[in-house]
Structure 1
């Protein structure tokens, strides 16, 4: 999320610069098109060299070198000039320096940054031109993407999934002779199990279950809206959200299981948490397993009354800015990165494939040491739910909901009704402030 005040003014100046760049590209559009056409004008000639400026952000930064290598082998005439998000090289810095990337890899939580900077363009013409089959994507992905546009545009291409599962430490269950969790549980059933493995033993407080708060909010299993798109008002002070909060905060009301520290550190390093969920960090498990962690997985629980586990899509994505003169080449690169070949490579490394193909799913995590015999199918039971109508204020609303409602309730600082009223007020004030700018 972008910050307010002075940073917002800078963002607006950058957005204005982007508009000028887009206009300039439009006025010289024939030049850009002819440059790309020259790559295929003579079928017998090698393609002309193309340099794509590739900006990468979030967890996908670690994939940059792999992507560069794959693209170089597939398209020898294409050079990726990679810019990694970081101090002094954020998307705001890059645009402020007069550069507009040809290809951007970004995280869903920061989508509004790209929208404000006018870096989102409808990929539909490119999808049609290059005959990319959207049916290759997992069920629900296309609808989820189109929900981010009030015109049904295809503004981004997800390239992997961040499906949730329950990780559990078998050592703790064995220590207390408690049966392991199973696939297909409800949250209420998981609560009962968490109570049984929340114990103090040998000076160590073992906690039954922890989760990453913002992640479970983004996954929004009950498909509840945060902002009403018709009124631009908070939509969280409802009975359904009360139910969600009641269930998700009940774990931290277990005596001894109060939220303490970072769940990732507690599970991987301290190894004093029996179960956890949140972002998928399966790639970090081999090192933890060498340090003694005995881990396995079960599917993400569902709420009572749901037939199966399903969540809102929370996936990193690629976009092609409207001002890029190399849209065709950029899309060809995206299409290749979503090919069976590359999705298989990524799946073997522990990246959940966005492609709906059983043969690729079966390759999941095969290159990770110690994953043999694990219940990896648990990750593929977290299906994509029907999308909630999107607004430009959702990112802020989700952060406020997490920090002003979920966290204070599970810390015992507020009751559910008070927390929802406070969060509702904060969300509405934030929206009003944004709409006045």
Structure 2
């Protein structure tokens, strides 16, 4: 379905670009008039921005609409939520290009393919937005997404990882709680101690969301060589990563079984887990008896000074919109201390490097008092690896063709890497022929 959508969009784009160019030329006089109105003190003309939102940001759509309209009474966000029949491909094929988009990092390749990315640098300079407000590493990572070092998107929150752990399971078996600053190897030892069967219930020591930990790779490894456009996963470094990360599921009784989120929150049979930060989903589980706390994400032995790759959803302004300035003003406001504080209190990790905002993290979430929330802020951003347009699908292939079959015991590491490499190369070759 996605491929068919792309082909249709290719035809649609020809007419869209022409229409936008005509519209832009026709609006030039109006822009001057609006500027004169602003100088004369007249209220700005009403503007409706079509806002497309996807991923975990969908649940915040109404909040964002309200905040934006309160700040800019003349601006109305017309929100389109990603879903069945309303994917970004569906919207574009229907003849509509959004003025503002929020998307998850896994869809960066789609944004490039659909030509929805444009350099935000001129707008950043025009509106005097201070990129120094972002956490260390964020700017360099964003620039790495462009061959020319352009600033193609604005990350608006962090998907930092931490270890969630169920204190009840540790108490049940008399095992000390995990600690901040562990290595993955130390984590393995802890997982073994709390992987037990008791009263007919199998308790699992540690589970994780495979695709998420692939995105958060701490060994700074690329997936595709940007010079050759060939898979770059069949390396000693990736072999080490696979060996360590799949070793958890080789613990007797800890084989991957079902959804890690459901196992941790609903069934409460997992002692420790990591992956997407679902702190906002803890309240119901805690009401059902879950006693949870957090420690920092472990690191590989000998690499205590390293961090993880940035995983952050982002805003983009499609080059075709005639409302670039308004759209960027909205983004700048959503990146303000005011809004970032509101989002932080709701459990969204702020992207801005402001201690006063970080201190507000999760304060509106019931039951978070006294929890080790600082663990989430120990997952810093590492130096980015060279990015390519094929990374998103390459990561998915790597996860499904290498990580999963290895931890399921269906393939050895060497075989899995070789076959995943072949799949990635076939995918790239097919994409290049389009």
TM-score (norm 2): 0.97
1:175-224 CA-partner distances (Å, limit 9, x unpaired): 00000000000000000000000000001000000000000011111110
Q: Which residue of 2 aligns with 1:153?
A: 150
The alignment covers a number of residue pairs equal to: 434
1:139 to 136, 140, 156: 136
1:102 equivalenced with 2:99 (yes/no): yes
**Alpha-carbon distance in structure 2 between the residues aligned to 1:27 and 1:116:** 26
**Alpha-carbon distance in structure 1 between the residues aligned to 2:121 and 2:250:** 48
1:274 equivalenced with 2:271 (yes/no): yes
**Alpha-carbon distance in structure 1 between the residues aligned to 2:404 and 2:52:** 33
Secondary structure, counterpart of 2:280 in structure 1: helix
Within 5 Å, give how 1:34-73 maps onto structure 2: 34=32, 37=35, 40-42=38-40, 44-73=41-70
Residue 11 of structure 1 and its aligned partner are, at CA, apart by 3.7
Q: Which residue of 2 aligns with 1:391?
A: 388
**Alpha-carbon distance in structure 1 between the residues aligned to 2:16 and 2:113:** 10
Residue 112 of structure 1 and its aligned partner are, at CA, apart by 1.4
1:163 to 157, 160, 165: 160
**Alpha-carbon distance in structure 2 between the residues aligned to 1:257 and 1:39:** 67
Answer whether contact 1:184 1:308 (CA < 8 A) is retained.
no
Q: Which residue of 1 aligns with 2:14?
A: 16
1:240-273 CA-partner distances (Å, limit 9, x unpaired): 0000000000000000000000000000000000
1:94-152 CA-partner distances (Å, limit 9, x unpaired): 11222111111111101111111111111000000000000000000000101100001
**Alpha-carbon distance in structure 2 between the residues aligned to 1:364 and 1:393:** 34
Q: Which residue of 2 aligns with 1:249?
A: 246
1:418 to 411, 415, 418: 415
Secondary structure, counterpart of 2:2 in structure 1: coil
Distance 1:28 1:305, change over 3 A: farther
**Alpha-carbon distance in structure 2 between the residues aligned to 1:319 and 1:404:** 31
Residue 26 of structure 1 and its aligned partner are, at CA, apart by 4.6
**Alpha-carbon distance in structure 1 between the residues aligned to 2:333 and 2:5:** 36
Within 5 Å, give how 1:18-417 maps onto structure 2: 18-28=16-26, 30-31=28-29, 33-34=31-32, 37=35, 40-42=38-40, 44-308=41-305, 310-417=307-414
**Alpha-carbon distance in structure 2 between the residues aligned to 1:13 and 1:369:** 50
Residues 52-61 or 19-28, more deviating: 19-28
Q: Which residue of 1 aligns with 2:2?
A: 3
Residue 10 of structure 1 and its aligned partner are, at CA, apart by 2.3
**Alpha-carbon distance in structure 2 between the residues aligned to 1:117 and 1:28:** 25
**Alpha-carbon distance in structure 2 between the residues aligned to 1:344 and 1:324:** 29
Answer whether contact 1:172 1:274 (CA < 8 A) is retained.
yes
Residue 384 of structure 1 and its aligned partner are, at CA, apart by 0.6
Answer whether contact 1:22 1:322 (CA < 8 A) is retained.
no
Answer whether contact 2:5 2:90 (CA < 8 A) is retained.
no
Secondary structure, counterpart of 1:270 in structure 2: coil
**Alpha-carbon distance in structure 1 between the residues aligned to 2:33 and 2:245:** 54
Unaligned runs of 5+ in 1: none
1:357-396 CA-partner distances (Å, limit 9, x unpaired): 1111110000000000000000000001101101111111
Answer whether contact 2:12 2:95 (CA < 8 A) is retained.
no
Distance 1:33 1:261, change over 3 A: same
Residue 8 of structure 1 and its aligned partner are, at CA, apart by 3.7
**Alpha-carbon distance in structure 2 between the residues aligned to 1:21 and 1:302:** 51
Secondary structure, counterpart of 2:39 in structure 1: coil
Aligned alpha-carbon RMSD (Å): 1.4
Distance 1:418 1:15, change over 3 A: farther
Secondary structure, counterpart of 1:9 in structure 2: helix
Answer whether contact 1:348 1:363 (CA < 8 A) is retained.
yes
Residue 23 of structure 1 and its aligned partner are, at CA, apart by 3.3
Answer whether contact 1:25 1:323 (CA < 8 A) is retained.
no
Residue 310 of structure 1 and its aligned partner are, at CA, apart by 1.3
TM-score (norm 1): 0.97
Answer whether contact 1:217 1:402 (CA < 8 A) is retained.
yes
**Alpha-carbon distance in structure 2 between the residues aligned to 1:424 and 1:299:** 32
